Structure formats: C-alpha cells, structure tokens
Amino acid sequence: MIILYSFIDESRHKFLMDRYLNAFSEDFKEDILKYRRWQDAQLSLLGRVLLLHGLSAHFGINEADIGKLPNNKPFLKGHPIHFNISHSKNLVACVIADFPIGIDIEFSDETINYLDFKFQMTGGEFEEIHQSEDKISSFFSYWTKKEAVLKAEGSGMMISLDSFEILNNECVIEGKKFFTKEFFIDKRYNCCIASTDINIKNVVPFLEVFKI
C-alpha cells in the first residue's frame, strides 16, 4: 500500500494545467474546467495525477482505465488494485492498495464548534470528544475515521455518520467489519485510512510526497 500526497500551489497552477490536463479524457477535462476556483481545479487534477503516478511507479500500470460503479465510486478497470482520493484545504492525498481502501484527510480548523456536529455522532463518540483535553483534535480524529470508513464501504451519503460507532479503531456496518488507522502527513491535518482488511491495523503506509 502506498499513500501519495501533494500541496497545491497557485504559482504553479498554469504549468500544471498545461502539463497534465490534456493527458485525461474529455469528460475529466470538462469537469476540471468547470471549477471557478483554481484551488478546486488543482486539487481534483492533482488527485488524478497522484493516482496515475502511483500506479505507474509502484504497480507497473502505465495505462489506467478508470470507470465508475453504480454508486459513482471510481475503480480501476482490468486490475485487482483499489484506490481512493481525498482532499481538504491545500492538501490532496491518494491511497493505492491491493485490497479495498478508503482515505480521508481533514484540515484541523480551530474555528469549528464540534457541538454543531453532535447530531452526527453516537452518544459514546460525543462523550469521548467532550471529555478530551483537546476537543478539536479529538473531533477531527473522529470525523476522518468515520469518513474513511464510508469511503471504504462505498455507499457514501446513503449511510449516516451516527448509524455506526468506531471503538478501538473498529466498527460494523450491516454485518461487515471495518478497521481504521490514522497516519501523519502534516500537523495541520488529520488523516485516516479504512478497510475491511484487518491487516490495515498493522501496516505501515509508505508515504510519498509528489513535488509539483
């Protein structure tokens, strides 16, 4: 398993668009060009660039055909390789593995009032956050775990965050067990991966920064 990441850079935006955009399908290019903010366009573009770089450099897959499942989750056609992409604020990350995987990264916004999100927590999760010394850090740890699980599960918003509870980095959704593991990229961000594969609990992700 590998996790690739990059920070966006406004001064490099035109260069990145000119260098990479034409390498993708017309549909993907149209999606990128619809963004009004350069940040959103670059985050989406770099997510796909990270994926293609990781597949080529670490899995020997030089021509990737990306499709979408009925639930709109992207997948790699013709290969037993799984991936997931997440971005927040100025950071984008892509995880690639040989088992189903989800990833979530969140900028630790100190202005967030975690009480506003109480309705999206279980009672046990709320108490754990409420009683912790660093409530903001605890809240974002909770949030990234839950989002990573949802992305690994694949149903997205069809499952509410308060419908399952993560205890000791494990949870169950509709009889299926998921495992979570936090990892570090930058002190301003919380990062987590999730999978149904129990080996994720012991794996040490290989982190690679993609310099733009």
Question: What digits encode the pLDDT tens for the residues 54-71?
Answer: 999 999 999 888 888 877
Average pLDDT over residues 74-78: 90
Q: For residue 193, give Cα distances in angstroms to 21, 33, 60, 81, 164.
A: 28, 29, 23, 16, 17
24-33, 70-79, 187-196: range with lowest mean pLDDT: 70-79
Question: What digits encode the pLDDT tens for the residues 34-52?
Answer: 999 999 999 999 999 999 9
- The whole-angstrom separation of Cα 107 and Cα 86 is 11
Q: Residue 182 is encoded by which pair of tokens?
A: 């936090």
- The whole-angstrom separation of Cα 205 and Cα 1 is 6
Average pLDDT over residues 110-135: 94
Contact 39, 47 (CB under 8 A): no
Domain count, the chain: 1
Q: Which residues contact 157 (CB under 8 A, 6 or more apart)?
A: 150
Query: Is the CA virtual torsion 146, 148, 149, 153 positive or negative?
Result: positive
pLDDT confidence band for 108 (50 / 70 / 90)? very high
pLDDT confidence band for 152 (50 / 70 / 90)? very high
| Residue among 44, 54, 45, 55 at smallest CA distance from 20 | 45
Report the mean per-residue pLDDT for the chain.
Answer: 93
| Residue among 195, 200, 210 at smallest CA distance from 101 | 195
Q: Which domain holds residue 26?
A: 2-209
pLDDT confidence band for 73 (50 / 70 / 90)? confident
Q: Residue 153 is encoded by which pair of tokens?
A: 């599960």
Collapsed DSSP state (helix, strand, coil) of residue 160: coil
Give the domain CATH number at 27. 3.90.470.20
- The whole-angstrom separation of Cα 76 and Cα 81 is 7
Residue 156 has what pLDDT? Answer: 61
Using the predicted structure, report yes or no on whether residue 169 has a pLDDT greater than 90.
yes
- The whole-angstrom separation of Cα 19 and Cα 154 is 32
Using the predicted structure, report yes or no on whether residue 157 has a pLDDT greater than 70.
no
> The tokens 């903010």 sit on which residue?
37
Q: Residue 22 is encoded by which pair of tokens?
A: 């034409």
| Residue among 8, 89, 11 at smallest CA distance from 50 | 8
Q: For residue 87, give Cα distances in angstroms to 6, 8, 40.
A: 10, 10, 9
| Phi, psi for residue 48 in degrees, rounded to 5 | -70, -35
Percent of the chain whose pLDDT exceeds 90 = 84
pTM for the complete prediction? 0.94
